[in-house]
Chain A
Amino acid sequence: MRSLLPIVLILISAGLNAAVSDVVEFSDPSYSERYHTLITQLRCPKCQNQNLADSDAPISRDLRLQVQRLLEEGLSNEEIRQYLADRYSAFILYQPEVNSTTYMLWSSPLLVLFVGLFVVMRLTKGASVRDRLDTPVVDQKRLKSLLDNGDSQG
């Protein structure tokens, strides 16, 4: 158990190092906030499911630099996202636009919600019917005779 401790500590420290924090200077301070929004919403094309902000891959560094350049050139957030999607495909967008290939993705939460609602309604309806049937109608005589029969047989 004790031998695990250094390994655990190394893993934890590796996790801490993974967050990439480079200081980026902008001519206009408002760019800085947009820059951070953008790089957290864009996906590193090389790594599986890391955004540009978290990834230390060389391609992510290049793309962060490119986002910075495009901001300085005065492009809007939407234009920058489009610029990268034109080159790296919609894969790079964490929020792809709704179109013929992504409608399944976008509609699935609603679909699951409706299926869930349907199931819940069916279950509660069934339960209330059962409640009404079960409680009042207990034929005491029949019950008693059944129990007696059971006794005599057993």
Chain B
Amino acid sequence: MGRLTLFLPVVFFIGLTIILLFGLDKNPTDLPSALVGEPFPEFDLFYLKSEQDKVDRSELLGEATLVNVWATWCYACRIEHAMLNQLSEQGVRVVGLNYKDKRQDALQWLQQRGDPYEFSVFDVDGLLGIDLGVYGAPETFLLDAEGVIHHRRVGVIDERVWAAEFAQVYQQLRADK
């Protein structure tokens, strides 16, 4: 008995090491999302392409939709843009949320790089961004036809991320409809 208790510190050390090793695998910049399973928040903003026409939440409903938060100042959005164009060509409905940007810059960006968005919402103050818990563009939300958020991605979507995180849920939502 006395001998065995001598090994307790070693056992404790090994246990702690295992727990901490698991911790190493986690990405500390990944925040748990508070919004998955919740309805997309209400908003009342202008379209990016028009200074007069307003857009609200009801425009997002009807089918499975990707809402992509983007901005011209966001470097990673450049990398992501080609993938969004491709998804849009494949028939995925993509809506943009232009986040804290200048309207002219944003319109020019879409002209130069192609416009994968059915429309973009112009959130110049980032208030819808706060309601969505946005903390780093690009971010992408996958909504069902009723506007409930099923998945959220912070960071770039590429082929690998689409296949791993989105494709299955998206097909499921399409099938449900």
Contact = CB atoms under 8 A, between A and B. Distances in A.
Contact of B34 (A59, A63, A86): A86
B126 interface: yes
A91 B133 CA distance: 11
User: How extensive is the interface on chain B, given as a class?
Assistant: 10 to 19
How would you classify the secondary structure of chain A's contact residues: helix, strand, loop or mixed?
helix
- Categorize the interface residue count of chain A: 10 to 19
Interface centre among A46, A48, A62, A85 (most CB of B within 10 A): A62
Interface stretch (B25-33, B142-150, B157-165): B25-33
Contacts of A87: 34-35, 130-133
Nearest to A59: B135
B135 A88 contact: yes
B130 A62 contact: yes
Given A45-B135, A48-B29, A66 B34 contact: no
A88 B133 contact: yes
Interface of B: 28-29, 31-35, 100, 126, 129-136
27 contacts: A45-B31, A45-B133, A45-B135, A46-B135, A46-B136, A48-B28, A48-B29, A58-B100, A59-B135, A62-B126, A62-B129, A62-B130, A66-B130, A86-B34, A87-B34, A87-B130, A87-B131, A88-B31, A88-B34, A88-B133, A88-B135, A89-B31, A89-B32, A89-B34, A89-B133, A91-B31, A91-B32
Interface of A: 45-46, 48, 58-59, 62-63, 66, 85-91
